[in-house]
């Protein structure tokens, strides 16, 4: 009688794929020069977000990691400027409205 080893059990493990990362929102370009002088170094804004549970990050060009966070439905804060353009990234918000209340100029 021939003795044969038992059949080999082979299992293939599916490689774990990390969950999909949330998609980073596309920045919206906003020209603030219509409302404040180009020499301004900062502007105080009132930001209204829709829906009110949304959030927005507003930052000057080239300073993506130094943005100011606005939480809905309505909040006020200062945004530093490096020129006449700021960018808005919406998180959970579908639209926004900005009111400019004050600005700072170089001393």
Q: What is the pLDDT of residues 8-29, one digit of tens each?
A: 555 555 555 555 656 789 999 9
Whole-angstrom Cα distance, residue 78 to residue 80? 7
Q: What is the pLDDT of residues 50-87, one digit of tens each?
A: 999 999 999 998 999 999 999 989 999 999 999 999 99
Residue 34 pLDDT class (50, 70, 90 cuts): very high
The answer to whether 43 and 60 are in contact (CB under 8 A) is no
Q: How high is the pLDDT of residue 7?
A: 58
């Amino acid at each position: 009688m021939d003795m044969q080893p038992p059949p080999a059990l082979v299992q293939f493990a599916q490689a774990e794929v990390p969950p999909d990362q949330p998609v980073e929102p596309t920045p919206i370009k906003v020209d603030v020069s219509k409302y404040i002088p180009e020499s301004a170094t900062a502007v105080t804004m009132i930001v209204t977000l829709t829906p009110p549970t949304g959030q927005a990050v507003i930052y000057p060009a080239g300073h993506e990691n130094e943005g100011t966070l606005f939480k809905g439905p309505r909040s006020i804060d200062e945004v530093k400027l490096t020129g006449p353009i700021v960018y808005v990234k919406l998180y959970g918000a579908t639209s926004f409205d900005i009111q400019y209340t004050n600005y700072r100029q170089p001393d």
